[in-house]
Chain A
Amino acid sequence: MAKTIVSMLNVDKWYGENHIVKNMNLDISEGEFLTLLGPSGCGKTTMLRMVSGFEQPSAGTIKVENESVEKKEPYQRNVNTVFQNYALFPNMNVYDNVAYGLKIKKVPKAEIKKRVTEMLKLVQLEGFEKRRISQMSGGQKQRIALARALINHPKVLLLDEPLGALDLKLRKQMQIELKQLQKRLGITFVYVTHDQEEALTMSDRIAIINEGVMEQIDTPKNIYEHPKTRFVAEFIGESNIFDTVVKNILEDKVELAIAEGHIAVPRGEYTVGEKVTVSVRPEVMSFSRERISGFSVKGVVKDIIYVGNFVKMIVEMSNGQEIKITRFDSMELSDLGDVVYLNWPLEKGVVIRMEDSFEDTV
């Protein structure tokens, strides 16, 4: 395990009456690409700003390189930020923007020139040195902001929704570039976004934040395939969620009762009568015309939606819940109005046993 470079210990943040960050504990390893993912207002940007020094935690400690940064002003911390709206200096040209940090540190001119040139090459902006910021496009501005931060060789680079203002195509391209850059430079990236796809594409680890609480921190694969909480399951990708009660514990599986009928999960430690939530991704959901052993979920095909690279079929169950099924080809789907029975490979159903996960829903 690589050594920890940033850590938050029991960090709380209050804005007046609002508890923005609640008892946060987080370790970020050197060289990793960590994404703080959550809906807007969940406290992820505040966490970032506490690391960069623009906000002070109300309680708890933040350490960078094992040293508390409580007393350090933003300009004394060895972290740099790429801001959401780039925050490029409009009174300077591209070169001067990138050189800013080095000039402040009084690095010799020749070296500044060398490093700025290198950096602009790295972000593919050679030849734009003399341009004014207002002449640059959104993607170019993003690269300048990146270059301006990276030229200081920060231990940690903080990125606050840096791609938010770009259009989809450019965003996807920049996602890949960013990831490659991070790998090449080996700098720790802490990346804030509310776009789950972006997080899944780029991150080594994702921390899911909801209402100031960390719901889960893990690799994208684990987060996707084994969401620990109902929130994670619903927030990351699409999920079909079943609120169930343990009905029968059989030899090879456990039968769970749903509103009408029942589903099954592999054997595990369950007690009869226990409440369990099961999340099933639409792409692993199967259907058949006849009932299949272990499953008794019946529904009617209500809608078929063409999404482009896949097709989505909506099946309405008798209690009104809509189940989504996706396939790459509409040939693999049923017709509108058909009655179908749903099932899936047992191991693909993710059991979420957090006690509070469906208290309100059953």
Chain B
Amino acid sequence: MKKKNSEEKEKISIAKRISQIALCGPVTIWSVLFIYVPMALLLFMSFMTKGPLGIIKYEFTLENYKAIFDSVYFNVIKESVLVALITTVLSVLMGYPFAYFMAMKKKKISGILMILLMIPFWTNELVIVYSFVILLNNSGLVNTFLQVVGITKEPLSMLYNNFAVIAGMLYMLLPFAVLPMYSSIEKLDKGLLEASKDLGAGPVKTFFKITLPLTAPGIFAGVILVFIPTIGYYQITDMLGGGTQMMIGNLINNQFSISRNWPFGAALSMLLAVLILVMLFICQKIGGNLDDLAA
């Protein structure tokens, strides 16, 4: 009898294992093949030497990492981090009130708002950027409108400056900021806000003492989701900013194409990975919860 029992148990555990493999197997294989293996190759390549015509010479070197700290390249990295940080801060500042507004609305309304918010995701990035160019240029829609209405006589310079870059970045990345913040605000027990008010705190105090700390994980998730793509973006700074400021993305792209220095490009990519890791680490430390990324 006992034996039979244990046999049955074994059967169950085998069935369980099979289902586990069936569920997790594809993802694991996928991530090993397309994430970990390429990462490992990139890491390996970053320690190799550049040969003529973009060929990689299999000789170990640390030169690629030393070159990163060359002021010329370091400056690019610094600027990219700065742009990414500014974009991140702005999208959180703009996204939070919107997420809050959305979370406080009825399901039906917030659903519609959500769809509106997601529209940029359905559109190709390049199409969006070109639309911005068409909208904002000197003889573009916005300027034509302003001149016809008589608000301005001369066209306003809206393209190829920081305004255009930030507008473009925010357009692309605001949804990334809003979604996790929305989810954490929506999950927030509204009873806590009532409790705070009941205990004498006005709306402002309630916001800073209760709402903000309790939705911080959503904010951190938003920060991560905006910062990471932004630091790699360069199409927007190229096409809306006029390409006068090189980003780390341009730099890496140049290494893999024009300069044919794949090892250095690989080292820069690893640096990007490290920057992202540091960002994740900081967010985790300050109190963000990576699980909120899933929401």
Contacts and interface: CB of A to CB of B under 8 A. Distances in A.
Are A and B in contact, CB atoms below 8 Å, in the complex? yes
Nearest to B189: A87
B192 A89 contact: yes
Interface string B185-205: 000010110111111111001
A270 B60 CA distance: 112
A71 to B, nearest CB: 15
A80 B198 contact: yes
A306 interface: no
Contacts of B189: 85, 87
B111 interface: no
B246 interface: no
Contacts of B210: 89, 91
A100 B196 CA distance: 8
Contacts of A74: 194, 197-198
Interface string B153-190: 00000000000000000000000000000000000010
A22 B16 CA distance: 58
Contacts of B201: 75, 100, 104
Interface in B104-128: none
B214 interface: yes
B213 interface: yes
Interface residues on A, range: 20 to 34
A105 B200 contact: yes
Contacts of A231: none
Interface in A50-97: 52-54, 73-75, 79-81, 83, 85, 87-91
A75 B210 CA distance: 15
B214 A75 contact: no
A152 B195 contact: no
A54 B195 CA distance: 10
A149 B210 CA distance: 17
Nearest to B206: A75
A85 B191 contact: yes
Contacts of A54: 194, 197
Contacts of B197: 53-54, 73-75
A90 B214 contact: yes
A139 interface: no
A101 interface: yes
A75 B191 contact: no
A155 interface: no
A73 B193 CA distance: 13
Contacts of A73: 197, 202
Contacts of B198: 52, 74-75, 79-81, 149
Interface string B203-219: 00100011001100000
Contact of A87 (B195, B200, B209, B213): B195
A272 B88 CA distance: 85
Contacts of B195: 81, 83, 87-89
Nearest to A52: B198
Contacts of A91: 210, 213-214
A349 to B, nearest CB: 46
Contacts of B194: 54, 74, 81, 83, 87
Nearest to A148: B199
Interface in B36-77: none
A91 B209 CA distance: 9
A100 B191 contact: no
A100 B199 contact: yes
A87 B196 CA distance: 9
Interface in A92-114: 100-101, 104-105
Contacts of B214: 89-91
Contacts of A101: 199-200
Contacts of A104: 199-201, 205, 209
Given A89-B210, A90-B214, A91-B214, A152 B200 contact: yes
Given A87-B192, A89-B210, 9 more contacts: A74-B197, A75-B197, A83-B191, A87-B194, A87-B195, A100-B196, A100-B199, A104-B209, A149-B198
9 contacts: A52-B198, A74-B198, A83-B191, A89-B196, A90-B192, A91-B213, A101-B200, A104-B199, A152-B200
